[in-house]
Structure 1
Amino acid sequence: MKFKNLLLSWKYPSILLLGIGISNFGAWVYFIALNLIVLDLTNSALAVAGLYIVKPIAALFTNVWAGSVIDRINKRNLMVALDLFRAVFIALLPLTSSIWVIYSVVFVINMAGAMFGTTSRSYITKLIPIEQRKRFNSLRSLIDSGAFLVGPAIAGILFLIGTPILAIYINAVALFLSGIITLFMPNLEKDRSLEQSDSSLSWKIIKQDWAIVLNFSRQYSYIMFMHFLFSCMMVMATAIDSQEAAFAKAVLFLTDTDYGFLVSIAGAGIIVGALVNTMIVSKIQISFLIGLGSLFVSVGYIIYSFSSSFSIAALGFFIIAFSLAFANTGYQTFYQNNIPVEIMGRVGSVFGLLEACLIIITTTIVGVSAQFISIQFVVITGSIIMFALTILLFILSMKPSKSRYYSVKSVEAKDL
């Protein structure tokens, strides 16, 4: 009977994880294929780099207003609509040979993707009971890790038997399947249709919603400061990673084969970390997951930045990848438990906007500095800044006076 109840309690989380998994595997196939299509079309590395800038810019345009929409409408139906919307637009990509049309379509796809991420987080928080969230987030981390490893491999196989265009269509089908699977999930907001909202969206409503987020941030400054610190860590990681290939070639003097092997070691670290995390997550406090996990991510970057040989860099890569599973699980659980689901869309959008701005600014500064100063100096400086941020994150997460934020009790909307 106990086993039967366990199966029933994990029925819908399992379906949701299946949909997430299919979408993630397809996303990696699409990501690699699109890079190759743009490179073949333009023969320009700069044009490919432009694809990386489109995503945060799309987030800037979306997050100003998206949270106001997400918190007011049926989230399951919105997730289905966004999956199908992205599937259609991805299927349109191979039909054009204009780089500017491709950028425009990718921009729209990334806008929908930014909105989907915030929507799914709110829906997951509503669906998953608080006592299951750590386990769910650890399993999701495992699926993400599997997609990171298997996705590129699937893309390679597809390129052998077909073309990058075939891979693009495969991802469109994957998103379509993800949307269909989501239809089988519980409709937690039956009283809200996709079109229905409490009031029409206007600039006045958006300003009111931003004021709600600011008031919540002031009232729960510890929660939002922890969220901000973790976001800053990920911003620094993104900026440092943008110099990864150049660092491997110019500082470590690695061949293309060696660099590929280095990336494979990171992949192994991700899957090992995710597996260990899944097995022991129930025994580890959320505060240790987010605090210690983040600290070891930055330790990995410190080792990598000061490395002068392949073996030391490989050790740094493995530690980074291994620790990310723990840090992400802790962060997601902390966020779900402490941000009221009624305003989660608005909070996620406002801080997502800030994070997108920081990514654009920091990545630009790192890129320009690496060009005119020294790649290793820039990577070391970035890693030290990240290390300082995670020391503060670790200290704050370990404070006994803040233990209530890591217990199995959510902040309720009535507490606002």
Structure 2
Amino acid sequence: MSFKKILETWRHPSILLFSIGVSSVGSWVYFIALNLIVLDITGSAIAVSGLYIIRALSTVFTNIWSGSVIDRLNKKYLMIVLNIFQTLLIVLLPFFSSLNFIYCMVFFITIASSMYHITSMTYITKLMPAEQRKRFNSLRSLLDSGAFLTGPAIAGMLFTIGTPNMAIYANAIALFLSVLITLWMPNIESSEQLAGISDRRLSVKLLTDDWKLVIRFSRKYSYIMIVYFLFSVMIVMMTATDSLEAAFATQVLSLSAGEYGVLVSIAGAGVLVGSLTNTIIVEKVPTSWLIGTGSLITAGGYMVLTCSNTFVIASVGCFVLAFATAFANTGFYTFYQNNIPVDLMGRIGSIYGLVEAFLIIVATAIFGVASEVVAIRFIVVLGSSIMLLVASILFICTIQSSKTKYYSAVFTNLKEE
């Protein structure tokens, strides 16, 4: 392919990637700043933990109905409206000193953020030809890892020269910049294309019908949804185990705050190296192996970390698990885009996202309470063991030769029933 052809093919995806990168960095800056603002107002670590609970509850609330809305609206304009809505709320956030008001604002900001994530996935799937999706997802993973490293660094710099409020405004600017970039993106849907599914008002009956539609699809294409669910369980166990990471590092491994900071930096390096490696080899590795092997190595990294007794071994575990997540995420996103019908993607993503968010709340609460009753090491090792079991099942499911068609770019556009 000539350079001119490559440039033309990747013009809009490059603009979209830039928009995603700006938004991701801004999100990191915003949430770190928000943590400090709440801590400064209340002086309570529990109040900061409340932010995580509010975000999770908001996701659960949103995902009950958001997919039905997303699938029936123009994706480009919905992305623009959601980002503008987030921008306005974030600009207003520093003017509130009441914790209840801040929680309320975070609740609505998270609603917009959750809807934006699902909407952007649908938009990306419609925009990108099937043969380019794996490369795009690997580049997106690289941008996410870059945001993971640069976001906190930018936040720290802004805290040094200003205040957490300055960081909040920086995120608002980043989101508004993302809006301007999105305006340059093509409109991939016409009113005629949406007419068939957008002629019904949001109601309990509509939501019920949509849930039934997702259930029918899940039954008919059970293999696709089993892979989806297993990967979601991996995310749940990773989140629940991560919730005890700081306590495990400081109380069990007896690491100082500085050593724990280095451990987090090593994980960041693992994400970056993994993402860079992923972009180089992604076209040579089948999607099925990206999901299966990436998940299995990630779970193995968690086992090394949670079974470690020294800083060196814990560092190896952190690096390995962070390194492998880039491969697993790229494989899963590609599998999802190639096998979920774009006309159903909003509803399937929101409903399964609801299940995932609910399981995250339950698992994190159970792990937190259990860590007060039994040894923290036992809980994190148990979590890693469950994760390894799920990853092993996922690996077996994905590498079966009889399922090869599900990992081919041509196996797409399944029909809703």
- TM-score, normalized by the shorter chain, greater than 0.5: yes
For residues 328-363 of structure 1, the C-alpha deviation after alignment (integer angstroms, 9 at most, x for no partner) is 000000000000001000000110110011000000
Dislocated runs of 4+, deviation >6 Å? 192-196
Displacement of 1:60? 1.0
- Aligned equivalent of 1:280: 281
Q: Which runs of 5+ in 1 are unaligned?
A: none
* Residue 362 (structure 2) aligns with: 361
Residues 29-85 of structure 1, C-alpha deviations (whole Å, 9 max, x = no match): 001100000000000000001111111100111111100010011000000000010
Q: Secondary structure at the match of 1:147?
A: helix
2:219 — aligned with what? 218
Matched with 1:243 is 244
Distance 1:363 1:162 in 2: 34
Question: CA, structure 1 residues 8+180, in 2 after alignment: closer, same or farther (shift >3 Å)?
Answer: same
Partner of 1:227: 228
Partner residue in 1 for 2:316: 315
Deviations 1:181-232 (A, max 9, x none): 1111110113279999321111111111111100000000000000000000
TM-score norm. by structure 1 comes to 0.98
Answer whether contact 1:252 1:308 (CA < 8 A) is retained. yes
Which residue pairs with 1:91 in the alignment?
91
Instruction: Supply the distance in 2 between the matched residues of 1:10 and 1:297 (Cα, whole angstroms).
Output: 31
Match of 1:5 in 2: 5
**Distance of 1:385 and 1:226 partners within structure 2:** 16
Q: Distance in 1 between matches of 2:224 and 2:346?
A: 16
CA RMSD of aligned residues (A): 1.4
**Partner of 2:141 in structure 1?**
141
Asked if the contact 1:134–1:282 (Cα under 8 Å) also holds between the matched residues in 2, the reply is yes
- Give the SS at the match of 1:402: helix
Deviations along 1:152-192, one digit per CA (max 9) or x if unpaired, are 00001101110000000010111111011111111011327
Whichever residue aligns with residue 332 of structure 1, its letter is Y
Aligned letter for 1:168?
I
Q: CA deviation at 1:409?
A: 1.5
Which region of structure 1 is more displaced relative to structure 2, 54-63 or 212-221? 54-63
Query: In the alignment, is residue 110 of structure 1 matched against residue 110 of structure 2?
Result: yes
Structure 2 CA distance for aligned equivalents of residues 370 and 126 of structure 1? 45
Q: Where does residue 414 of structure 1 map in the other structure? A: 415
Q: Which amino acid aligns with 2:344?
A: I
Aligned to 2:125: 125
Which secondary structure state, in structure 1, belongs to the residue aligned with residue 189 of structure 2? coil
Go from structure 1 to structure 2 and tell me whether the alpha carbon gap of 1:136 and 1:398 turns closer, same or farther (over 3 Å shift): same
In the alignment, is residue 382 of structure 1 matched against residue 383 of structure 2? Answer: yes
Q: Could you tell me how far apart the structure 1 residues matched to 2:416 and 2:345 are?
A: 14
Separation of aligned partners in 2, 1:269 and 1:412: 35
CA contact (8 A) 1:74 1:192 kept: no
Question: For this pair of structures, how many residues does the alignment match?
Answer: 416
| Superimposed CA distance per residue, residues 81-111 of structure 1 (whole angstroms, 9 cap, x where no aligned partner) | 0001000001111001000000000000001
Please state how far the C-alpha of 1:411 moved relative to its aligned partner. Answer: 2.9
* Structure 1 counterpart of 2:189: 189
Cα separation, partners in 2 of 1:39 and 1:163, compared to 1, 3 Å: same
Cα separation, 2, equivalents of 1:139 and 1:192: 33
- 2:398 is the alignment partner of 1:397: yes
Equivalent residue, structure 1, for 2:54: 54
Q: Distance in 2 between matches of 1:372 and 1:236?
A: 19
Sort the Cα spacing of 1:202 and 1:308 in 2 relative to 1 into closer, same or farther, 3 A: same
Find the residue that maps to 2:344 and give its secondary structure. helix
1:250-301 C-alpha deviation (Å, 9 max, x unpaired): 1100000000000000000000000000011010000000000000000000
| Cα deviation code 1:123-147 (max 9, x no counterpart) | 0000010000000000000000000
Q: State, as a whole percentage, how many aligned pairs show the same letter.
A: 57
